[in-house]
Amino acid sequence: MLASIRNRVLAKQLCAPVQRSGGMFQCHKPMPLGQRLYHKPARSDKFKQLSSADVNYFKTIMPAETILATAAVGGTADPIELEGFNADWLSKYRGSSQLVLRPKTTQEVSDILKYCHANRIAVVPQGGNTGLVGGSVPVHDEVVLSLRNLNRVRSYDEVSGVLVCDAGCVLEELDNYVAERGHIMPLDLGAKGSCHIGGNVATNAGGIRFLRYGSLHGSVLGLEVVLPDGTILDSLSTLRKDNTGYDLKQLFIGSEGTLGVITGVSVVTPQRPAAVNVAVLGVPSYANVQQAFKLARRRCGEVLSAYEFWDASCMGAVLKHQGLRNPLTSDYPFYVLVETSGSNNTHDDEKLTALLEELLEDGVVEDGVLAQDDSQIAKMWTMREGIPESLGKTGATYKYDVSIPIPVLYDVVGDISKRLEAADLYKPGDASRPVKLVCGYGHIGDSNLHLNVVAGKFEDQVTRIFEPFVYEWVASHRGSISAEHGVGLMKRDYLGYSKTPEMIDYMKRIKHMFDPSGILNPYKVV
């Protein structure tokens, strides 16, 4: 076994991982709201101001205990009760909604939207509120339509592996449910303990299983969606094949709640792997990260389920803030996590061990360690999944989720660093400068980089150096300004860097066709 080649026992080197199950990673102490500046569109005069009459109507169509209304609209709720609905989990985006509706049925969602459509009341659909681009919180005083009470599993076919459930089901709970039946959800996120499957679909979430199981555009078989006028669009099919015209569900996957409210999801769940193996590698350069990926696909293609990388700055933050020790004997410029998932542990273990030995012998990687049990696998994954929290604890973190062709994926990190150094805002190792770290990590197999700039605080002099430069850089390489986080409010004004004017025009036409009054998640996406 590779783990014994250099007498390293991972269990003696790594401390307990951060708790990932049962909830999101605990965020660092939130910054004061409003400290991060961003473009906030003015409130549209076409939307009605809520009144007590509106709240009274909602009480006739849904139980009173599912309504949170402040005194400003005739209710009795303390505004503090609405804080978790008005602000995102990073406290970066914040609205001022005075009304939260928490329906329990699709019909209640329909009745709510029918009334809002008729009265031009703006609505923001909200799931687990784990997004990073301001798509799930109000911009102004929109009604928050929370889907958390729609949380039933409707059916599960153990032969086909097709799950039908409400949109408010928590991803981790669904994964546990299908695990008991020998299957696995086709996506996995750091926020799995809080995010909802409906929100995952609405944002076309990616995550660490994308390399193996692909996009939700392929995994989702059907949707139940309530349109802005209250119409219930039932396309909740459980069929793998249905070639009867336009596949309308695809419009709602990734639409971020701007075209309709997803209330039900039909998704195919793959067979759960019987054997999972994980290794962490020390790599001398980004070129070698790519070379190792090519060899991993060649040697482990049918069982390769994840290929993640991060740089030395990310590793330093994780080791400092997660209570971990580096499992390798030295520090390296880059680190790679390789995971295989299959049905035969001996077979897969031999393949991964052979891969790592070949990588070491060829000098592609300089060090490597193979997990020996589930506990060590969890600790290795903590090194990768603990990066966002660790960077947050380091300082105010600017986050950019981009897709870039693999050969130049990491180049943007160096270019951003050079711009900040030229502006005298950053010098590696100098904590007195406004910017502390410029680093990158992500999913090589998906061409997805998470670029992070960590500063002492959010301030315009820093932001101006890389916005819109980072989007211009991505566009110059025919990349995407959003790989998996969506557009939301954060990237709405930069959409032109990834979409042509003609494409944006047709997106707006589609939006107008479904939502002519523009009440659903206004100010977002287009």
Q: Each residue of 1-21: pLDDT tens digit?
A: 333 333 332 333 333 333 333
- In tens, the pLDDT along 475-496 reads 999 999 999 999 999 999 999 9
pLDDT band at 38 (very low <50, low <70, confident <90, very high): low
Q: Is the separation of the CB atoms in 457 and 35 below 8 Å?
A: yes
Residue 419: φ, ψ to 5°: -65, -40
> Distance between the two ends of the chain, CA-based, in angstroms?
53
- 18/397: higher pLDDT: 397
Per-residue pLDDT, 19: 33
Q: Tell me the pTM.
A: 0.89
Of the candidates 340, 442, 386, the one whose C-alpha atom is nearest the C-alpha of residue 20 is: 386
pLDDT of residue 445: 87
Mean pLDDT taken over the chain? 91
The pLDDT score that the predictor gives to residue 394 is 94
The 3-class secondary structure across 380-408, one letter per residue, is HHHHHHCHHHHHHHHCEEEEEEEECCHHH
The reported pLDDT for the residue numbered 33 is 33
Distance CA 403, CA 418 (A): 21
Render the burial of 344-361: b for 16+ CB within 10 Å, e for the rest. eeeebbebbbebbeebbe
Query: What integer pLDDT is reported at residue 6 of this predicted model?
Result: 32
As a whole number, mean pLDDT of residues 197-203 equals: 97
Q: Is the pLDDT of residue 26 over 60?
A: no
- Kindly list the distances between the CA atom of residue 233 and the CA atoms of 41, 145, 221, 259, in Å, as whole numbers in the listed order: 31, 18, 14, 12
pLDDT in tens, 275-319: 999 999 999 999 999 999 999 999 998 999 999 999 999 999 999
Query: What string of DSSP letters covers 75-140?
Result: --B-GGGGHHHHB-TTS--B---SEEE--SSHHHHHHHHHHHHHHT--EEEESS---SSS-SS-SS
Q: The dihedral of CA 445, 449, 450, 454: what is its sign? A: positive
Neighbouring residues of 181: CB distance < 8 A, sequence distance ≥ 6: 156, 158
* C-alpha distance from residue 454 to each of 68, 275, 396, 462 (Å): 37, 37, 6, 10
Query: pLDDT of 496-518, one tens digit each?
Result: 999 999 999 999 999 999 999 99
Task: Quote the pLDDT of residue 190.
Answer: 82
Report in angstroms the alpha-carbon separations of 194 from 25, 89, 161, 316, 349.
10, 11, 23, 27, 33
Q: What is the DSSP letter of 471?
A: H
Number of Cβ atoms within 10 Å of the Cβ of 494: 18
